[in-house]
Amino acid sequence: MDATTMTKSAPSSKAAADARALRADIYDFNSAYAACIDDGNIMLWPDFFTEDAIYKVIARENYDQDLPLATIFAEGRGGLIDRTVAITKTTVFRPRYLRHFISNIRVLGIDGELIRAEANYMVVETLTNDLTRILSVGRYMDTFTRVGGELKLKERLCVYDSEMVPATVVYPF
């Protein structure tokens, strides 16, 4: 962090206060997002997104090499709903708990209505009668917008470092 940035984030600055408030909003958003998945309310997960949202889970090697393949590619609210229906109605999987840990939120830029932000995430998985393990570690590359004052994701790319997936990804990151 250089001197200029230090000055910018001095407590007296209004811009810094706004930035902190925005970070707090995103923190609350991410906490609610995590709780929704972790507490078993996956059907409500699409509500965190805009109607035209894009949600992707992408292996870091693909992202870094500009390869377009995603592990999960949901387009629009419909795509998100289809994922939740598959999880609850069609996918055959062993019962498990998930726990999301989301940290290091950074706002990268604001462009009109759009807020670009990143965060680190870790998703820990516990299969019934088994040891807890790290399922995925990576970063969210987010574009937020406000709908009726509330933050919604217009895009969330979950770019994961843990390219060797332990078995199965059932729930979203």
Partner 1 sequence: MATQLKNAPLDFTWPEEGHTRVPYWVYSSPEIYKREMEVIFGGSAYSFIGFECEIPNPGDFRQTKVGDKPVIFTRDEDGQVRVFANRCAHRGVQFCYETHGKGRTEFICPYHQWTYNLKGDLTAIPFRRGLKKQGGMPKDFDMKSHHLQQMKVQTYNGTIFASFDHGMPSLEEYLGPKMLHWVNRVFNGRPLKVLGYERQRLNANWKLMFENIKDPYHASLMHVFLVSFSLFRADNPSKVQLDGTGLHGVQISQRGEQKQDEGTEDIRQNIAHLKLANPNMLQPEKEFPGEATVVMQTIWPNLIIQQQSNTLAMRQIQCVSPEEFELHWTYFGYADESEEMTMKRLRQANLMGPAGFVSADDSEVMEATQFGVSKYPNEKAVVEMGGRDFEDTDHMVTESMIRGFYSGYRKIMGL
122 pairs with which residues across the strands? 101, 137
* Binds partner 1 (CB under 8 A): choice among 7, 13, 31, 91: 91
Work out how close the CB of 75 gets to partner 1 at its nearest, in angstroms, rounded to a whole number: 6
Count CA atoms within 13 Å of residue 89 on its CB side: 7
34 touches 102 (CB < 8 A) = yes
CA distance 6 to 32: 30
Secondary structure letter of residue 129 according to DSSP: T
Residue from 15, 35, 86, 134 in contact with partner 1 (CB under 8 A): 86
Q: Which is nearer to partner 1, 33 or 173 (CB)?
A: 173
Say whether residue 147 binds partner 1 (CB under 8 A).
Answer: no
Task: Specify the stretch interacting with partner 1 by CB under 8 A; choose among 4-12, 13-21, 86-94, 144-152.
Answer: 86-94
CA 22 remoteness from chain centre: 16
Site pattern 48..77 for partner 1 (x: CB under 8 A): ---------x-x-xx----xxxxxxxxxxx
Check: CB of residue 59 under 8 Å from CB of residue 164: no
Which residue from 46, 59, 117 is spatially nearest to 88, judged by alpha carbons? 46
Q: How far is the CB of 58 from partner 1 (least distance, A)?
A: 8
Interface residues toward partner 1, by CB under 8 A: 57, 59, 61-62, 67-79, 81-82, 85-86, 89-94, 163-170
